[in-house]
A = this chain, B = another copy of it.
Amino acid sequence: MVCPVGFIDSQLARFRAELYDFLRIPSISTDGDHAGDVRAAAEWLADRVREAGLTAEVIETPGHPIVLGEWRGAPDAPTVLIYGHYDVQPPEPLDEWTSPPFEPTERDGRVYARGSADDKGQLYMHVKALEAHLATAGSLPVNVVFLAEGEEEIGSPNLVPFVEANRERLACDLVLISDTEMFAEGLPSLLFSLRGLSYFEITVKGARSDLHSGNYGGSVTNPGNALAAIIASFHDADGRIAVPGFYDDVVEWDAETREQIAALPHDDEEYRHELTVDELTGEAGFTTLERLWIRPTCDVNGLLSGYTGPGAKTVLPNKAMAKVSFRLVPNQDPERVAEMVEAHVRTVTPPGVTVEIRVIHGGRPWKAKLEGPAFDAAREALEEAFGTKPVPMGGGGSIPIVVDFEEQLKAPALLLGFSLPGCNLHAPDEWLPIANFEKGIAALALLYGKLGGGG
């Protein structure tokens, strides 16, 4: 009988063909017109999980369904909960895709398709790694709960309630997630952190209606000017966030991690050049990678007020809106941050206008120690599959569900990602390296074996 990795090597063409079938289903969760496609993707996935040798159910929620697969044939081995999502972002703007978003196309060793990196491609690696064990040994080295949702791209409204309601069924020793990037091509990585998020919509309102800027200008506060003053007040001259109390709960990172970050093969000049900016900026006293991973931010995500068409319109708008979000780091709490931001905004809002602050989205930051048998197993599995020792890296983005899993299930999360920086997540021409898809399946199969106590 062949070993799982040998089996994987022999089946790569079929695995790829199956993935491409998965990618062809336009499971766009945010678009009601695609609800049928989202369901079709769930059914398709459940069928493949069953074919691999697990049980699988498509479970209804108030929104899109959850796919739950199980295999519990190793009573003495630990239980691993594998989490991922089968829904995708909308593909728009369509005319910026080189090949159609739902017709997987190979170019330069990559597969281009919506969902290739985020997250169908990475989720499907697990299905194939599980199959490799079951096809070769007839069993898995660990007990497995396979949990895939169809609402990640719309904020997972039904996942946390589902986890809360099914804590016993989902009980596990490790939460394993593949929905992130490696640090660079050929360099497998272990994630030690994710940032949290506090996302606000700030609306400044002035007079009863838009006014003529000549007839009224100078006598009333302009909501656009007021909004600019509010946003400008969020930063000080050193690029630090000037909201009182904002840094109270920010953990200073340990020297060892900062040394590991400094040792990564990052080149500021290359990064600057790739982004086409004159200069990199950010909080004084920190490197670019530190600014991205272990320091909080405040970014405008959107601005809208008054007249935005061509030419001049002399309107004094009665409303100005900004979307502003803060990325948070351990141990900042989005609810406390929301209170501080709201209090600060009320303090700096000029007289003569009213301000409304709505919290649109919040998520807690996450930090892992990268210590213990699961991380050791991951390190070994990645090195064997990729031929290189994995590096530790932080994540600038947010996956709020990670903290919820850890809290609800009392199990640590291990984030093993296989896409690459620049993979056009949520953008046209999303891609996944085919080599990473293939090596990733092997790495995961090896990892299951090690988690189960095998070599």
Question: What residues make up the interface of A, taking CB atoms closer than 8 Å to B?
Answer: 155, 195, 197, 199, 206-225, 227-235, 271, 274-283, 288, 291-292, 295-308, 311-317, 320-323, 325, 327, 350-354, 360-361, 395-398, 421, 425-427
What is the chain B residue whose CB lies nearest that of A313? B301
Choose from B302, B303, B306, B311 the contact partner of A227 (Cβ within 8 Å): B303
Quickly give the copy total for this chain: 2
Q: State the CA gap A312–B333 with chains docked (Å).
A: 19
- Please indicate the chain B residues that have their CB under 8 angstroms from the CB of A197 in the complex: 214, 314
Contact of A278 (CB < 8 Å), options: B218, B224, B325, B351: B351
Whether A312 pairs with B360 at a CB distance below 8 angstroms is yes
Residue from B212, B228, B306 within 8 A of A397 (CB atoms)? B212
Beyond A219-B280, A219-B291, A303-B303, 13 additional contacts (C-beta under 8 Å) are A199-B314, A208-B276, A209-B427, A212-B425, A214-B396, A215-B292, A217-B299, A217-B327, A224-B303, A225-B300, A231-B232, A281-B352, A301-B316
Q: How far is the CB of A169 from chain B (nearest CB, A)?
A: 31
The residue among A199, A220, A233, A320 with the most chain B CB atoms within 10 A of its own CB is A220
Inter-chain contact A313/B317, CB cutoff 8 Å: no
Interchain CB contact under 8 A, A307 and B301: yes
Could you show 7 A-B contacts with beta carbons less than 8 Å apart? Answer: A208-B274, A216-B396, A217-B292, A218-B292, A228-B230, A299-B316, A314-B397
Residue from A291, A292, A298, A303 whose CB has the most chain B CB atoms within 10 Å:
A303
Q: In the complex where A232-B228, A295-B218 touch, is A277 in contact with B397 (Cβ < 8 A)? A: no
Question: For A426, what are the chain B residues with a Cβ–Cβ distance below 8 Å?
Answer: 212
Residue of B nearest to A351 (CB): B279
Asked whether B280 lies within 8 Å of A307 as measured between CB atoms, the reply is no
Which residues of chain B come closer than 8 Å to A216, judged between CB atoms? Answer: 275, 292, 396
